[in-house]
Structure formats: structure tokens, C-alpha cells
Amino acid sequence: MSTFACRSCGETNVEPVLSLGEIPLVNALVEPGESEPDRRYPLDVVRCPSCTLVQITETLPPETLFRSYTYFSSYSETFLDHARRFAEESIRRRSLGPESLVVEAASNDGYLLQYFAAAQVRALGVEPAQNVAAVARERGIDTIAEFLDEALAGEIVAEHGSADLVVANNVLAHVPDPHGFVAALGTLAGDRGEIVVEVPYLRELVERLEFDTIYHEHLSYFTLTSLARLFEPHELAIVDVDLLPVHGGSLRIVASRSRAPAASVSHLLAEERTWGVENGAPLVAFAAGVRSLQRELHALVAGLVESGASVAAYGAAAKGVVLANVCGLDSDLVDFVVDRNPHKQGKLLPGVRIPVRPPEVLEQERPDYCLLFAWNLTDEIVAQQTAYREKGGRFIAPLPSPRVLA
């Protein structure tokens, strides 16, 4: 571990937290008939005692991970509703109009910017996955298919002016150089713009044993404490913070050069100190809990199959790939996984080779149980699959303790 340097502060004396072994890249779905073994990479989690940032030690080239991508935000109704409400609130709160500019980093398929564009607010996306950026352009969202850095941010400001609102949702955890990325956000916002960032919240991840949120695309796992220490050198103050239920528990922060911090910031920082953010004590219990959960989930599914029951799964997203690989749930135990994303259907989950099929197959084949790989969308999935449940199908929630839903 001594050769690894913290991505935020450079500290080399980091503390080991948890090893999830070697697993494949979560979005590297496999074509049927592929005989080559799936490439695997170490997935080890450490904590920096200096700035408190929790992170994985492996850094894969962004070009490998993100130039072609199979995750499209628009396939989740829950996430679309979350985006729509954020856009409406932002337009109202900041009085955004045709002369305003909103720039989103990692804008995906235009899932968020479409709502600003529909309100006649200028919207510009930056999305490095070329196939995903193409979908956004088809929707009429002006999108640059590149990774955001300081140079590109300067070019955008030179051509379009500073942004009134800069959005970076579920991307900060992905970047190998967080300081360079935050500097780029600051360049886009200038002196008067606001920066809004959403990240999965480490405290929720730890308390709910959400280990399947840990994978190679997610390099860093943030608290408000570690975020504040990341933004401060760039003369950006975190002026507001909200806790959100999305993605199993997220933080939404607002950073600015022109506003004073709200009381919510100092309150949450104090809560984190009480929780143990400075000494890392909660992470010890987290690691033990994850090891226990791995055994329990495997035993539950294997026991059902041994008793003659059939098991399928819902959600071919990153969470499912991690959960299946870490818990040893392969195609001998899980017959298939359904997913709404047609770009994934017909392929196999890496590492475990479970086939991905359309959601309607769940009702047609009626497996006895359906394991919720996409447990963060439980309400949405259960509502969609009323017919499956009415015909006797039962759902299994994997976290924080495996259980069959009533």
C-alpha cells in the first residue's frame, strides 16, 4: 500500500479497509460464445488518514472505461424524475432563462439537460462516451464528446461565456485527478456561477453495507468532510448540502465563490465528526459486515436452488456485476438477469456469464425468485412487475441483510 498516494492530498501512508478480490470491469458485458476469460483487476479499498478520503487503489485509464459505455441514465424512471425535479428547482431558484447557460459534466444521454432545454435555457453537455453523446445529440442537446479538463473548460468559456450553473452528477468519484476536475468546474462557473455536485455518500454506503457501489469506475468515496478539503484549495466554498435517497444515498453539494455557507454545511460536518470520519472506526465494522453479507447472500441463493427453486435477477448494471462476482452468484445459480436497456440485452454479465434478457421474460418464464441486483430501484421494479408477483413470483432484496420481500 505504501506506493499508493491519496488522489486528493498525496498522502502515501494510507490505511487498508477492505479487499473485494479481483473482479471484471462492470460495464464490459460479454458477447455470447466468447471463450476468452474475462479480464479481472484488484478491487482494494483504502482510507487516507490525512484528508479522510476513501478510495480504491487501482486506476484504469479513463479511455478504457468510458469511451464506449453501456449505461444510459434515461432507462430509469426514478432517475428521470429526480433529474426533472432538480432542473425545475434550479430554473426557479436561479431564475434561469434563454440568456443563461447550464453546463453538465458527464451529461450521459441528455437525461438532465433535456429539461433545461425544454424550458428554453441554453444547455451544453460534456460526455466522453461517444456512443452516449451521440444519443444526446439526437435529442437536440449540444454535447461535446470529450473528458472535461481545465483546457476544455477554458475553451467552453471562451466560446460560450461562464456558466450560471455547472452540474457534475455521479462523475466526481470517477475521475483519477479530482483536483484537475474541480479546477475545471471552477473555470466553467467563473466568479458568479454555482457548481452542483452529486456523489454517493460514504456514510450511507457504510451503514447500509452497500459494497456493490464499489467498483473500478468509482475511484473515490466521499463524505462532506473529504469534499470540503478537496474544494478549498480552488477557492470554492461548499455553501449548501442536501442528503438524497437516490443511488442508495447521495450527497448534493453546492459550491460557490460568491455565497456564504448555509447552516446545513456546519451541521453535517459536525455529524460526520461524531460518526467517526476522522478516525475511520465505522469502516472496521463495515468490512466485517460485508464479509458476513457475502456468505449470507450466497447461502440464501444456493439454498433456494438446491431445494429446486429457480432464481433470476433484475438489473444488469454495475451493482449487479459486483454483487454477483463478489458473492459467487454465477449462471449455475442465477438463470438470467433482466434489464430495460436494449444495449445490454443478449449479452452476458462479465465474470459470472449470466445472460441478460428483456424485462418481459420475467413474467413469461416466471422464476420462483427474482434477486434485485438493482435494489436502489426496488419500488420502481416491483411496480413494473405486478403481473410477475400476481403469478407467484417473489423478490429478494440483497442489502443490508438478504431477505425475501413479503
Tens of pLDDT, residues 316-360: 989 999 999 999 999 999 999 999 999 899 999 999 999 999 999
In this model, does residue 230 exceed pLDDT 50? yes
- What CATH number is given to the structural domain containing 139? 3.40.50.150
pLDDT-above-70 percentage for the chain: 96
Indicate the SS3 state at residue 237. strand
Using CA atoms in the order 304, 310, 314, 318, what is the torsion angle rounded to 10 degrees?
60
Which of 109, 129, 156 terminates a domain? The answer is 156
Residue 8 lies in a domain: no
C-alpha distances in angstroms, 137 versus 78, 126, 127, 162? 23, 11, 11, 22
- Enter the C-alpha cell of residue 45: 479499498
Using 50, 70 and 90 to split pLDDT, how confident is the model at 221? very high
CA-CA distances (angstroms) from residue 161 to 105, 114, 127, 262, 404? 16, 20, 19, 28, 53
- In this prediction, residue 363 carries a pLDDT of 92
Query: What pLDDT does residue 1 have?
Result: 41
pLDDT in tens, 39-94: 999 999 999 999 999 999 999 877 667 655 555 666 678 888 999 999 999 999 99
Q: Averaged over 270-294, what is the pLDDT?
A: 97
**Number of domains into which the chain is organized:** 2
CA distances from 255 to 49, 189, 229 (A): 24, 10, 12
> What is the distance between the alpha carbons of residues 100 and 218, in angstroms, rounded to a whole number?
32
Q: Are 230 and 358 in contact (CB under 8 A)?
A: no
What pLDDT is attached to residue 151? 98
Q: What is the CATH number of the domain that holds 400?
A: 3.40.50.720
In-domain check, residue 173: no
The average confidence (pLDDT) of the chain is 94
Residue 264 within any structural domain of the chain: no
3-state secondary structure of 7: coil
Query: CA distances (Å), 224 to each of 213, 243, 340, in order?
Result: 18, 10, 34
Residue 145 lies in a domain: yes
Q: Among residues 156, 176, 195, which one ends one of the domains?
A: 156
Q: Does 307 reside within a domain?
A: yes
The pTM of the full predicted model, rounded to 2 decimals, is 0.91
Burial class (CB in 10 A: 0-12, 13-18, 19+), 93: exposed
The reply to whether 204 falls in a domain is: no
User: Does residue 383 form part of some domain?
Assistant: yes
Mean pLDDT, rounded, for 306-325 = 96
In a domain, 306, yes or no: yes
pLDDT at 196 exceeding the cut of 50: yes
Burial tier of 380 (Cβ tally within 10 Å: 0-12, 13-18, 19+): middle
- pLDDT of 319: 93
d(CA 281, CA 166): 35
The boundaries of the domain holding residue 99 are 62-156
Name the domain boundary from 156, 191, 226: 156
- 336 class by beta-carbon count within 10 Å (0-12 exposed, 13-18 middle, 19+ buried): buried
DSSP helix/strand/coil, 185 = helix
Structure confidence at residue 68 (pLDDT): 56
Q: What is the mean pLDDT of residues 150-174?
A: 97
Q: Which residue has cell 408477483? A: 389
